[in-house]
C-alpha cells in the first residue's frame, strides 16, 4: 500500500483495543529474566569469548604490534589485528554508517581514542581480557583537533542540513525595535543505554550463513552493513535483535563487537561472544556532538517576530554528519525574514551520530532560551509570545504547505492553566522558601514527524489466535504491545489472542526503532498486512466488505457468525503487507508539538538546582497506548532534565578522549533527581500522517525540556546560563558577577 492521500475511516477507528491502557506484553518476560538480550543467547555449541583491545591514542598510526605472548596465553584461540583481519568492504569514512560498510582493524591508522586495534578470542572472557594485556603496541602519535571552539573558523556548510534564506534577514533584524543576539553552547553527550553494544556470532559453514544476535535498533540496516563489511550477500546474514536494552541512537550504527565477532566466528567455526565494556562504550561508539549556536530574534512591539536567525556549529570525524540543531527553527515560529545556517568542523573525537532527538533536543535549548529572553526584553509573558507567533503553515514555503496537524497553542494554554502559570512572578528572584529560590519556566516542544517503509506478516492460526511477525524492534518502548493492539483491533480479537514476534531479519523488513518513526511506521505495516488478511477472509467466506465486521473472535456478516478458528482451518491463513509513502510529507508539514512547564528551586547559598515539578502537554496524533506513550514522555523529560543540569562528556584536550567514560563520572539523572512528572495528551487524529493517524512521541518528550528548566532557573535565581549544563558553579559565578557589578 502506498500512502498518498489522507486516511479515511478504517477499522482502527473502532478503538476497542487500540488506544486502551494495556500493560506491556514483554514486561513479565523482562522482570523474570526470560527475555534474552544479545549477549545472553546460548547456542548449542560451546561459546568462545572475544575481548576488544582499544587504542590508547586518539590520532596516529600503529608502528609496531607484537601479539606472540597473547597468542601463547592460556585458552587463547585467535588474535585478530589489522595484519591478519580478513578482507573487508571499504568505507569512505571512519564514522560507522547506516547500511554501509564499517570495517574494523582495516589498517594501522588510528582515527579516534579507543578505536578497536585487536580482538582476542579465548575459551573464557577472563582469559581473553588477560591475554589482551600482553599485546605490545608502539604508536606514532599525531597532533589532533579535539575542541570545537578551536575549529569554528574552519567549519564548512553541512551537506546533510541545507541553509535557509528567506527575505532580507539583515535589514529586518537591524530595523526591528526589539531584538536579542545570543550565543549558546551544548557539550558532547553520551546515549548511555543500560545494555552496551554486544553480539553473539554463529557461522553455519554448511549453509554459509552468519547469524548475529546483536543489540541494534534497525535490523535491515545492520544486516546490509555487516554483509558489505564482511563481503557476504545480505541473504547470508541473519540478524536477531528481539530485545534491545535501550539505544537512544547509539544502536542505529554497528561497531567492533558485531564486525569482529562475525569475522572470528567464520575463522574459528564456533560461536563468538563480544561485548564492549562500559568504559569502552563511551569512546568507541557514537555520541552527540557538542554545539555552538547563535540565535538572533527580532520582533515588533507586539511581539511578532520579524527576523529569525539561527547559526549552528558542530564537529565530527571527516565524512560524518552534523548535529542539525537549527532544523526546528525552520518550522516552529512565524517570521517573514529568516536566516538559518549549519556548519560542520572536522574533529578527531569518537564518531558523532544520532542521540535522543538529534537536532531538536539541543537546538531547542538555544531557541527556547532565546524566546524567553526576547519575552523579557518585550516585557511580555513567555507563553503569550509563543502564542502570538504560532503559524499554521510552513513559514518558509507559505500557505501552500500547511501543517497536517498543529495544536501548539492549545498545548501552551492548557499547560499554563494546569500548571498554575498565572502564579509565576515575571521578575526573577521574587519567590523564596527558606534558603531556596523558586522559579518557573516554559518551552515549546517540537519534533519532526518521519516515516519509513514498513512490512509485516500476520498468520491466523488454526486455534483462532493471530501471530504478527516483523523486523520492528523493541528497545524498551512498548513495540510488542502496540503492534499487538493494532493487530487485535484489525481482527476483532482481544490482545491476549495475539502473539507478536519482532527483531528478526527473516521477518518482513520494517522501520525499526529510531527517529520517532518506528511506532507509526511499523504499526502502519501491520495495518496493511491485516487489511490483506481481512480481504482474504472475506473472499474465502464470500462476505461483502461493507456489511462485515470482525468482532469477538468472529467474522460477522448479517446473520452469519463464523469463528476465526474455523476460517483459518487446519493450515491457517496468512498475509504479508507493506506500506510505502507518497508525497504527503511534501504536501503537508508534519511534526509533533507540545509544551513543557518546569518549576525549580535554586539554593541561595550553594547554587544547587532541584527540579520540583514538571508538566508536558503533547499533541502526537492518535495515542496508541496511553501507558506506553506516557512512559515515553516521562523518559524524555528525565533525559531533558539530565541534559539541562548534568550531562557532559568532558574532553581531555591533551589526549583526545572523553575522560569521564563510565557511569560513575558521566552523570545521568537518578531517582533522587526526578520529581513527580505530569503528562497531558491532547486527543488528535492526524489523517495525513499514516493510516494509523499517529505521529512520533518518543523524542518529543525531551525536546524543549532543558530550556524550560533553564528558563525556570533564571526566573528563580536571576542568572542566565547559556552554557549547558547548568551546574552550580555557573550559578555562583553569575551571582558573583552581579554582586561585583552592583558594587
Active site amino acids: 699
Per-residue CA distances from 346 to 143, 269, 373 (Å):
13, 41, 32
Phi, psi of 131 (to 5 degrees): -65, -30
Give the span between the Cα atoms of 311 and 566, in whole angstroms: 63
Note the maximum CA span of the chain: 89
Say which residues have a Cβ less than 8 Å from residue 424's Cβ, sequence separation at least 6: 439, 440, 715
Provide the phi-psi class of 666: left if phi over 0, else alpha when psi is between -120 and 50, else beta.
beta
Give the span between the Cα atoms of 668 and 666, in whole angstroms: 7
DSSP alpha helix (H) spans, 591-682: 626-645
3-state secondary structure of 263: helix
Reference 518, options 696, 689, 357, 701; nearest CA is 696
Tell me, what DSSP letter sits at residue 318?
Answer: T
Q: Give me the count of residues in the chain.
A: 743
Give the span between the Cα atoms of 705 and 486, in whole angstroms: 31
Angle at 221 between CA 220 and CA 223, to 5 degrees: 60
First to last CA, the chain: 71
Positive or negative: CA dihedral 454, 353, 233, 215: negative
Angle at 256 between CA 255 and CA 259, to 5 degrees: 90
- Please check whether residue 97 is in contact with residue 225, taking contact to mean a CB–CB distance below 8 angstroms: yes
Reference 598, options 437, 431, 711, 435; nearest CA is 711
Provide the phi-psi class of 729: left if phi over 0, else alpha when psi is between -120 and 50, else beta.
alpha
* Peptide bond connecting 725 to the previous residue in cis, omega within 30 degrees of 0: yes
Give the span between the Cα atoms of 273 and 658, in whole angstroms: 26
Give the span between the Cα atoms of 188 and 648, in whole angstroms: 6
Q: Within a 13 Å sphere around the CA of 320, how many CA atoms are in the beta-carbon half? A: 30
Q: In what order do the strands lie in the sheet with 454-460?
A: 2-3, 573-581, 454-460, 466-470, 498-502
Give the span between the Cα atoms of 459 and 467, in whole angstroms: 5
Give the span between the Cα atoms of 467 and 445, in whole angstroms: 37
Give the span between the Cα atoms of 50 and 47, in whole angstroms: 10
Q: Within a 13 Å sphere around the CA of 683, how many CA atoms are in the beta-carbon half? A: 1
Chain-centre distance for alpha carbon 293: 21
DSSP alpha helix (H) spans, 317-424: 360-378, 382-388, 408-419
Give the span between the Cα atoms of 364 and 323, in whole angstroms: 12
3-state secondary structure of 615: strand
Tell me, what DSSP letter sits at residue 588?
Answer: S
Say which residues have a Cβ less than 8 Å from residue 662's Cβ, sequence separation at least 6: 278, 279, 282
Phi, psi of 506 (to 5 degrees): -80, -10
Q: In what order do the strands lie in the sheet with 76-80?
A: 76-80, 116-122, 48-54, 272-275, 198-204, 209-214, 237-240
Give the span between the Cα atoms of 387 and 393, in whole angstroms: 14
Give the span between the Cα atoms of 654 and 349, in whole angstroms: 12
- Please check whether residue 616 is in contact with residue 595, taking contact to mean a CB–CB distance below 8 angstroms: yes
Q: What is the CA radius of gyration of the chain?
A: 27
Amino acid at each position: 500500500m502506498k500512502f498518498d492521500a489522507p486516511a479515511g475511516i478504517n477499522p482502527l477507528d473502532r478503538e476497542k483495543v487500540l488506544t486502551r491502557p494495556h500493560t506491556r506484553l514483554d514486561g513479565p518476560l523482562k522482570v523474570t529474566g526470560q527475555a534474552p538480550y544479545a549477549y545472553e543467547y546460548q547456542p548449542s555449541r560451546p561459546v568462545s569469548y572475544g575481548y576488544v583491545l582499544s587504542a590508547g591514542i586518539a590520532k596516529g598510526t600503529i608502528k609496531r604490534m607484537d601479539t606472540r605472548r597473547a597468542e601463547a596465553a592460556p585458552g587463547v584461540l585467535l588474535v585478530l589485528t589489522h595484519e591478519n583481519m580478513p578482507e573487508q568492504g571499504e568505507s569512505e569514512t571512519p564514522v560507522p554508517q547506516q547500511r554501509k560498510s564499517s570495517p574494523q582493524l582495516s589498517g594501522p591508522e588510528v582515527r579516534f581514542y579507543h578505536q578497536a586495534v585487536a580482538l582476542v578470542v579465548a575459551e573464557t572472557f577472563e582469559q581473553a581480557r588477560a591475554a589482551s594485556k600482553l599485546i605490545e603496541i608502539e604508536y606514532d602519535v599525531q597532533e589532533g583537533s579535539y575542541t570545537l571552539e578551536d575549529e569554528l573558523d574552519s567549519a564548512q556548510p553541512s551537506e546533510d542540513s541545507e541553509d535557509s534564506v528567506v527575505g532580507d534577514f539583515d535589514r529586518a533584524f537591524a530595523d526591528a525595535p526589539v531584538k536579542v543576539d545570543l550565543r549558546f553552547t551544548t557539550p558532547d553527550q553520551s546515549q548511555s543505554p543500560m545494555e552496551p553494544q554486544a553480539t553473539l556470532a554463529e557461522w553455519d559453514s554448511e549453509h554459509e550463513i552468519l547469524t548475529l544476535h546483536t543489540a541494534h535498533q534497525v535490523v535491515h540496516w545492520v544486516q546490509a552493513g555487516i554483509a558489505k563489511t564482511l563481503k557476504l550477500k545480505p541473504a547470508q546474514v541473519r540478524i536477531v535483535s528481539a530485545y534491545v536494552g535501550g539505544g537512544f541512537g547509539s544502536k542505529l550504527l554497528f561497531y567492533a563487537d558485531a564486525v569482529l565477532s562475525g569475522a572470528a566466528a567464520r575463522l574459528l567455526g564456533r560461536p563468538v561472544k563480544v561485548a564492549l565494556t562500559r568504559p569502552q562504550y563511551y569512546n568507541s561508539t557514537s555520541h552527540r556532538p557538542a554545539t555552538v549556536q547563535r540565535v538572533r530574534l527580532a520582533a515588533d512591539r507586539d511581539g511578532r517576530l520579524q527576523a529569525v536567525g539561527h547559526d549552528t556549529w558542530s564537529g565530527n570525524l571527516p565524512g560524518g554528519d552534523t548535529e542539525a540543531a537549527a532544523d526546528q527553527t525552520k518550522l516552529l515560529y512565524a517570521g517573514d525574514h529568516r536566516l538559518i545556517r549549519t556548519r560542520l568542523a572536522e574533529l578527531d573525537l569518537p564518531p558523532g551520530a544520532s542521540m535522543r532527538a538529534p537536532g531538536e533536543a539541543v537546538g531547542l535549548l538555544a531557541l527556547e532560551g532565546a524566546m524567553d529572553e526576547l519575552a523579557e526584553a518585550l516585557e511580555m509573558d513567555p507563553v503569550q509570545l509563543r502564542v502570538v507567533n504560532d503559524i499554521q503553515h510552513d513559514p518558509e514555503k507559505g500557505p501552500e504547505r500547511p501543517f497536517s496537524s498543529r495544536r501548539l497553542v492549545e498545548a501552551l494554554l492548557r499547560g499554563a492553566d494546569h500548571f498554575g502559570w498565572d502564579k509565576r512572578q515575571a521578575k526573577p528572584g521574587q519567590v523564596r522558601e527558606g534558603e531556596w529560590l523558586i522559579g518557573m519556566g516554559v518551552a515549546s516542544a517540537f519534533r519532526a514527524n518521519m516515516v519509513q517503509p514498513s512490512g509485516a506478516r500476520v498468520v491466523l492460526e488454526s486455534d483462532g489466535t493471530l501471530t504478527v511477525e516483523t523486523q520492528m524492534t523493541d528497545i524498551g518502548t512498548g513495540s510488542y504491545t502496540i503492534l499487538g493492539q493494532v493487530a487485535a483491533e484489525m481482527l476483532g480479537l482481544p490482545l491476549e489472542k495475539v502473539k507478536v514476534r519482532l527483531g528478526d531479519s527473516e521477518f518482513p523488513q520494517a522501520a525499526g526503532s529510531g527517529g520517532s518513526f518506528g511506532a507509526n511506521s511499523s504499526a502502519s505495516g501491520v495495518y496493511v498486512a491485516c487489511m490483506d488478511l481481512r480481504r482474504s477472509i472475506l473472499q474465502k467466506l464470500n462476505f461483502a466488505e461493507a456489511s462485515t465486521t470482525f468482532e469477538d473472535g468472529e467474522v460477522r456478516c448479517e446473520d452469519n457468525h463464523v469463528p476465526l478458528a474455523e476460517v483459518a482451518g487446519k493450515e491457517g491463513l496468512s498475509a504479508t503487507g507493506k506500506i510505502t509513502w507518497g508525497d504527503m510529507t511534501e504536501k503537508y508539514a508534519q511534526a509533533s508539538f507540545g509544551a513543557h512547564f518546569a518549576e525549580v528551586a535554586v539554593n541561595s547559598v550553594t547554587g544547587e538546582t532541584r527540579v520540583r515539578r514538571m508538566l508536558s502537554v503533547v499533541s502526537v496524533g492518535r495515542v496508541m497506548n496511553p501507558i506506553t506513550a506516557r512512559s515515553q514522555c516521562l523518559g524524555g523529560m528525565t533525559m531533558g532534565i539530565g541534559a539541562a543540569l548534568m550531562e557532559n562528556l568532558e574532553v581531555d584536550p591533551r589526549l583526545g578522549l572523553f575522560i569521564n567514560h563510565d557511569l560513575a563520572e558521566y552523570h545521568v539523572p537518578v531517582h533522587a533527581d526526578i520529581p513527580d512528572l505530569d503528562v497531558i495528551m491532547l486527543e488528535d487524529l492526524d489523517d495525513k500522517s499514516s493510516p494509523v493517524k499517529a505521529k512520533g512521541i518518543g523524542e518529543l518528550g525531551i525536546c524543549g525540556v532543558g530550556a524550560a528548566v533553564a528558563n525556570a532557573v533564571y526566573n528563580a535565581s536571576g542568572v542566565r546560563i547559556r552554557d549547558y549544563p547548568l551546574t552550580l558553579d555557573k550559578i555562583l559565578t553569575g551571582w558573583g558577577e552581579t554582586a561585583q557589578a552592583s558594587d
